Amino acid sequence: MADAAAFECVTEALARATGFDHLAANGTVRIALKKSGLDPKTVTASQMGIVVKQILPKELKARGVAEADAACAIVGAALGRLRDSAGPDGADAVFQRLGR
Helices H, strands E: what count in the chain?
6, 0
**pLDDT tens-digit map of 7-33:** 999 999 999 999 999 999 999 999 999
Question: What local confidence, expressed as pLDDT, does residue 85 receive?
Answer: 62
The residue type found at 65 is V
Q: Which has the closest alpha carbon to 70: 17, 9, 13?
A: 17
Q: Of 6, 16, 15, nearest to 44 (Cα)?
A: 6
The model's pLDDT over 35-80, given as tens digits with 9 standing for 90+, comes to: 999 999 999 999 999 999 999 999 999 999 999 999 999 999 999 8
